[in-house]
Amino acid sequence: MPETGKINMEKMYSQMATLYQSDHLSAMLAYWDEHLICRFANNAYIEWFGRSMDELVDKVTLPEVLGNSFDKIKPYVEGVLAGKVQQFEREIELPNGTAIYTITNYYPDVLEGRVRGFYVHIADISKIKKLEIDLSSSERKFKNLLETAPDAIVIVNPAGEIQIVNAQTEKLFGFSRTELLGRHADMLLPERLRMNKNEEQAGWFTNPFLASTDKAPELFGLHKNGSEFPVEITTNPITLDDGPYVSAAIRDITSRKRQEIFINHMAVIIESSSDAIISRTIEGEILSWNKGAEKLLGYTFEEIRGQNISLLFPAEMLAEEKEQVAKVLQGETVEQYDTVMDKKNGTRINISITLSPIRNSSGKIVSISKIIRDITKETRAKAQLNESNERNKIFVQQAPNAIAMFDKNMCYLAASKRWIDDYNLQGKEILGKSHYHIFPEIGDDWKAIHKACLKGEINQCDEAFFERADGSTQWITWDVRPWYISEGDIGGLIMYTADISILKEKEREKRNIEEILDKTNDVARIGTWEVDLVANLVKWSRITKEIHEVEPGYVPDLQGGINFYREGESQEKVMRALNEMINDNKNLDLELEIITAKKNLKWVRAIGQAEFKKGICKRLYGVFQDITETKNAREAVNRLNEELNTILNAGYVSIIGTDKDGLITHFNKGAEILLQYKAGEIIGIHTPALLHVEAEVVERGKQLSEQYGRTIEGFGVFVELLRQGEFESREWTYVRKDGSTFPVQLVVTAVRNMQGEIIGFLGVATDISELKKAEKEMKSLLDITTDQNERLKNFAHIVSHNLRSHSGNIDMILDLYIQDNPAVAVNEYISLLKKSSGNLKETIANLNEVVLMNTSFEEKLVPINLHQLIEAATQNVSQMAREGLVTIYNEVNADVEVLGLAAYLDSILLNFISNGIKYRATDREPFIRLSAIKQEAYVLLKIEDNGLGINIKKYGAKLFGMYKTFHGNADARGIGLFITKNQIEAMGGKVEVESEVNKGTLFKIYFKYEKN
């Protein structure tokens, strides 16, 4: 198992790739990071999920990919994220419908003690199972070979016990397999040829059977019936992983013995032998060459005669050949030594050579015979046996499960790593040792089972509880069965066990989880649903029915279920999704609207997945949840968010949020635009101090410190009033990133939590540059106006003083001149001069009045009785009225008082009344009527006459203008109404006029009303 913490992805991947590509296993590889996002997946993995690389990698999380089935692997995911390697087996179904048996490994990716993710390796062990089948087939082949061998073949272990025998052995010795297996090989020899115990210990095994030749020149086999027969025994040591064995080929040579009798016929027999039999001189010259040799080696006797034997051996084999020959020359027979020879056509063959000396009649060795046997097939069989054993061993050792292989004595032949791990046998030498020796606690019941299995039974158990000698407890599942050396020939036991304690624990957990899930579903109002497409059945859980507001007894069907969805979008969506589930094995997760049986509109979330068998969708299932409230709440929140965002990011309003200590937490778009900083440069880094002119903050701090009698500075300056529960709105100067400044109106509000505690502040600032600019413009305009007004006053002063004094002087001097010289009074020049001087004086007086008028007198207004004032004015013009035969009616109530200035009121009344007299109509009896009524805040004085009237359309706009006359009267100055209007307005009143030519005029004068 890979060591935790040292895995890196490349290494893992290359290891996996090498391992599984060479084995042609379609291992699925993937890497999920700690957030369960897929970062790497090989094609096999991606195909399994039926997704494309783009859809899977860097996109989805494991729970999303797996949907509900994520729960099944969740414990392993949690385990691996806790840094532990996870391994589990399961049967999975591929997108093409085939089911494979897999072993899944999760390896944590640990860097500096932190799990960053994990590697997934899913190996298809279906192939390993196939290997197992292959193995047994190779074993069968081996058995076949064994069975078809012409000799009796006996394989014994170092103890001399027979392990394997073939059919020939049974036939030759008359014993059945079961009678032979496990027994000492000596049973095949006559008593007299057997070794004694001492000899056996001295090394029978190093030279089995042959040792007996010391006792007799010829070997004999002992038949079950007690008869003896001559045999030829060839032994071969075999080293297997579990130790050395000896294989002995025993051939009945009874017939050969008989042939010796017929020595004369030997040549014929040799010639007809299927073996290649040749003879040669001691030096190597070929003397004879039978048909078998011709057939085996390709040379005819004519071709090879007289040639040296070395022609037939590869150069590297010659030395060995010479050695063997040397043995023969010493009188030995070299039985079946294996070597290789070159055929005529150049191909090399494995052969077994038996060398025998040929003596002349005097007993001298004159030549050597060679019996050459083609053992190519045999060699292959042996190799195959070795390979089989090798694979056997590998299979057992590498098996992901706990497997052990025992011989018939319950001694270990092989054990898998898992077996060693599961039974805590690490570091113990177990091979060759008895199972019972290693586990003394194994009871008689088990021994009985083993015994039965050694007789061919199979014992399986799905789960059994064990208590070990060390007190630990385990749940075990097992399978004990015999393994066969050959058909019906049991070689030992294979035990397969699995520690399912974890599985049992998981099962219990699963039940708990299911129970919790059930309850959770109930509480969370999660219902389930299932569509069995085979049986055409639809199942709804109680909650699902409740959500649909149907009776508990309601039996749903697919169409009925679809009909609950709101017509239009929801129904179309769900139908499309169902089709995709059935046809494309897509998962379902939709938020949809349904109309319940009680006609209520609900939002539901339907989640589901499809189950496929052999590429056909059999079943759809999933959960169903009422999300109406969540949905509504979410929509409300979304809407609110939208609105809030719009406000927050609106134009040129800077909104800056801080925590309660002043650290900026929000910096809206407006703030970015106005202040030139990006939110990222500010948030969590600065306080508003960055944006203010320090001197202003210090100054404000001083004010606050004075006000509250303690030092208030820094951020406190902006929020102290809020902490006191007051309102904070002030003009400040903001400093932009580039150092430029601009004035703002900053309103600061406190952000409070549910308990009413201040958790932060919000400063909303508006750029008031424009306002300030306008204010400044206004002020400058005011300054100009004030200045001009001042100059106007100066002008008034000049007019009143200087001009008046000069004109006064002229008038006075003129008067004196006339007084001194009475004769000039009639002089036309003097009289014109006098008149001009008078006009000048009057003009100046009028101008003076106009200028002075603009000063407001409102604060100096006093209550004046209107009736009395009219009486006085009428008195003043009585002479004039009498001359014009004008009747003046004073209809104003005696108690009416207005707010005004007596001098102005006098002037106003005189002006209107004298105007009325001046512009009287001569063809009718003229009158002037004055009346007053209270109207809202005013006293309305109406002055009505039946005089000439004014064309309002034509002159209306100019009526109250300066120097305007309308009637051509000689004494019209054109200034009266202008002054009058100004006087009225100076007292806070207004004047309106209605007039019709040759009918009369009505002046409406509004005076401020004295509330008494």
Partner 1 sequence: MKKIEIACIIDDDPIYVFGTRKIMELTNFCESFLIFHNGKQALDRLRAIIVAGENIPQMILLDLNMPVMDGWEFLEEFTRIPTVQKIYIYIVTSSIDPADVERAKEFGSVNNYIVKPITVDVLQKILSDFTY
Q: Which residues bind partner 1 (CB under 8 A)?
A: 796-797, 800-802, 804-805, 808-809, 811-813, 815-816, 819, 845, 848, 852
Distance CA 589, CA 67 (A): 10
Closer to partner 1 by CB, 524 or 902: give it. Answer: 902
Which pair of structure tokens corresponds to residue 428?
């113990």
Residue 467 vs 858, nearer CB to partner 1: 858
CB nearer partner 1, residue 610 or residue 901: 901
- The helix/strand/coil state of 583 is helix
**CB nearer partner 1, residue 442 or residue 845:** 845
Nearer to partner 1, 39 or 793 (CB): 793
Contacts of 384 (CB under 8 A, 6+ apart): 138, 141, 142, 145
- Residue 237: both structure tokens together: 């040591």
Name the residue nearer to partner 1 (CB basis): 808 or 863: 808
Please, which residue, 453 or 899, has the CB nearer to partner 1? 899
By the 8 A CB rule, do 95 and 47 touch? yes
Residue closer to partner 1 (CB basis): 509 or 815:
815
Measured between alpha carbons, how far apart are the two ends of the chain, in Å? Answer: 111
CA gap 421, 415 in Å, rounded = 10
Closest contact distance (angstroms) between CB of 821 and partner 1 is: 13
Hey, what amino acid is at 507? E
Measured from the CB atom, the residue of 751 and 818 that comes closer to partner 1 is 818
Instruction: Extract long-range pairs of 305-310: CB within 8 Å, 24+ residues apart.
Output: 308/283, 308/284, 309/278, 309/280, 309/284, 309/285, 309/370, 310/284
CB of 804: closest distance to partner 1 in angstroms?
A: 4
3-state secondary structure of 495: strand
Least distance to partner 1, CB of residue 700, Å: 44
Q: Specify the residue, 618 or 793, whose C-beta has the smaller distance to partner 1.
A: 793
Q: Provide, rounded to whole angstroms, the least separation between the CB of residue 826 and partner 1.
A: 20
Single out the residue of 550, 556, 511, 509 nearest to residue 529, CA to CA: 556
Q: How far is the CB of 1007 from partner 1 (least distance, A)?
A: 20
Q: What does residue 922 show for φ and ψ, rounded to 5 degrees?
A: -85, -15
> CA angle, 361 as apex, 357 and 362 as ends, to 5°?
90
**Whole-number Å distance between alpha carbons of 934 and 54:** 90
Q: How far is the CB of 855 from partner 1 (least distance, A)?
A: 9
650 vs 902, beta carbon nearer partner 1: 902
φ and ψ at 404, to 5 degrees?
A: -135, 150
In the complex, the smallest distance separating the C-beta of residue 872 from partner 1, rounded to whole angstroms, is 20
From the CB of 858, what's the least distance to partner 1, in Å?
15
In this structure, which amino acid lies at residue 952? I
Whole-angstrom CA distances from 216 to 91, 190, 203, 778 are 65, 11, 18, 145
Using the minimum distance from each CB to partner 1, give the nearer residue, 644 or 792: 792
Looking at the Cβ atoms of 504 and 804, the one nearer to partner 1 is: 804
DSSP assignment of 498-540, as one string?
A: EE-HHHHHHHHHHHHHHHHHHHHHHHHTEEEEEEETTTTEEEE
Q: And the tokens for 96?
A: 């093409």
| DSSP bridge partners of 267 | none
Q: Which is nearer to partner 1, 282 or 816 (CB)?
A: 816
In sequence order, the 6+-apart residues with CB closer than 8 A to the CB of 335 are 232, 234, 354
Q: How many helices (H) and strands (E) does the chain have?
A: 35, 37
In the complex, least distance from residue 806 CB atom to partner 1, rounded to whole angstroms: 8
**Residue 319 vs 798, nearer CB to partner 1:** 798
Provide, rounded to whole angstroms, the least separation between the CB of residue 865 and partner 1.
Answer: 22
797 with 789: CB under 8 angstroms? no
Minimum distance of partner 1 from residue 800's CB (angstroms):
5
* Backbone CA torsion sign across 585, 589, 590, 594: positive
Nearer to partner 1, 611 or 811 (CB): 811
Least Å distance, CB 984 to partner 1, is 18
CB of 936 to partner 1, least distance (A): 31
Three-state SS string across 322-377, please? Answer: HHHHHHHHCCCCEEEEEEEEECCCCCEEEEEEEEEEEECCCCCEEEEEEEEEECHH
Q: Which is nearer to partner 1, 297 or 844 (CB)?
A: 844
- Tell the smallest beta-carbon distance from residue 813 to partner 1 (Å): 6
Cβ neighbours, 10 Å, residue 823: 8
Closest to 166 measured CA to CA, from 190, 142, 182, 184 = 142
Q: Which is nearer to partner 1, 146 or 899 (CB)?
A: 899
Cα atoms found within 13 Å of the Cα of residue 295, Cβ hemisphere only:
13
Task: Kindly state the greatest CA–CA separation across the chain.
Answer: 217
Q: SS3 for 475?
A: strand
Q: Pairing between strand 99-111 and 286-289? A: unpaired
What are the angstrom distances between the C-alpha of 992 and each of 101, 131, 145, 233? 109, 120, 141, 156
Closest contact distance (angstroms) between CB of 785 and partner 1 is 21
> And the tokens for 721?
């009033």
Distance of closest approach, residue 973 Cβ to partner 1, in angstroms = 18
CA neighbor of 495 nearest in space, from 441, 466, 454, 463: 454
> Please, what is the minimum distance in Å from the beta carbon of residue 833 to partner 1?
15
Q: State in angstroms the smallest separation of the CB of 848 from partner 1.
A: 6
Contact 575, 564 (CB under 8 A): no
